Structure 1
């Protein structure tokens, strides 16, 4: 009888310790969630109060693609004769004095387009690569090339490189785009960051509510 009583007491004590440990763990987890939610809210509000840069329009005849700020895909477009030209930003962290983008030049009836990867500075344009790519679809996703698309740009002789620079500059791809692209990147990055803070906060809040239930 005594053994049974002791065994029962030990079982009750072990169960109490487990429950106590769970309560402690839940309490710590709730505190961490609350702290994280507070920081997310503070950063979100701080971003929402930041003054955006003055609105800058792209140089004519480029036009802004509708909805470009809220989705991936081309940012600017224009026509040049029978050519369709689209420019899309490379969404990577860059210094404030430069930005990277791609330019696609295509013609009706052709399955491929001429694809430039460029770097732009306030007073200069640099070409990193030139390749032939399948035409971009309206989904906005880049098509990965599956065949040889051309030589390394720096391996081309100086005359060819200069001619390619002249080719895209004649189509308006030059340093005049820099003020617009810099402002666009700032607004895009700000929106993405606010969206990220909001999404993480929603997830943490749902987990917190679930654990409190």
Structure 2
């Protein structure tokens, strides 16, 4: 029995060099991981500082009659502007068209294409009445000098559901298939309610501020996640 223990003991001592190599390898991997984390954190901090120094665009007030909804900058894609028109409540949500159609369907046209992406906004206009269970919804393209309607539909009231949701039932014909006089009448309908190209300057500036805040928030949360991971591994 003692001979077996001695052989086991010698075997264990013989295995020590292998365990030492493994320890060195683990230590080396940990050092590499820490160096990568440190490099990434440094890069994130540099970009965060660069973005934080960016000058915002000149302050632009919303067009007459509209008010900015409280907390809109902190939300995702909920309404930005609201106004009353008679007994109607009008809410407007906005996104960049490039956020919905990545690349905007372009073919890499450089600076001109980037400017086009910035100058193409996508609006969701919700017109509701207190005694109606559904609201009239317009999906529109907004440009510096024009507004075009993509679709018109009746949908359940937005409440807190946020931006446009895909319909589950028939919601009307393709807008372009409507008679020209009806299309013009719909344009006149929303124009009368202040939904036109006059919204562009404010919404463009508002989106800049929102994008700026989101980018800073992203750098902070990603940096915090990596830093917490590093601290946890060092503990």
**Under a length normalisation based on structure 1, what TM-score does the superposition of the two structures give?**
0.93
Distance change >3 Å, CA 141–CA 170, structure 1 → 2? closer
Please name the residue that 2:130 is paired with: 108
**Take 1:34 and 1:15, find their aligned partners in 2: how far apart are those partners?**
28
Which range moves more in the overlay, 88-97 or 104-113? 88-97
Please name the residue that 1:16 is paired with: 20
Q: Give the aligned length.
A: 213
Please name the residue that 2:83 is paired with: 78
Gaps of 5+ in 1: none
Residue from 25, 29, 32 that aligns with 2:33? 29
Q: Quote the offset at 1:108 in angstroms.
A: 1.1
Work out whether 1:155 is the aligned partner of 2:159: no
**Take 2:190 and 2:151, find their aligned partners in 1: how far apart are those partners?**
13
Q: Name the SS for the 1:140 alignment partner.
A: coil
Q: Structure 1: which 4+ aligned runs deviate by more than 6 Å?
A: none
**Within-5 A mapping of 1:120-135:** 120-135=142-157
**Within-5 A mapping of 1:113-192:** 113-138=135-160, 140=162, 142=164, 144-192=166-214
Would you tell me which structure has more helix in proportion to its own residues?
2
Which range moves more in the overlay, 148-157 or 191-200? 148-157
**Take 2:165 and 2:128, find their aligned partners in 1: how far apart are those partners?**
14
Q: Is the 8 A contact 2:125 2:137 kept in 1?
A: yes
Residue from 2, 26, 47 that aligns with 2:51? 47
Gaps of 5+ in 2: 100-116
Q: Name the SS for the 1:149 alignment partner.
A: coil
Instruction: Provide Cα deviations, 1:157-213, integer angstroms capped at 9, x if missing partner.
Output: 222211111111111111111100000010000000100000000000000001111
Work out whether 1:63 is the aligned partner of 2:67: yes
Q: Is the 8 A contact 1:134 1:145 kept in 2?
A: no
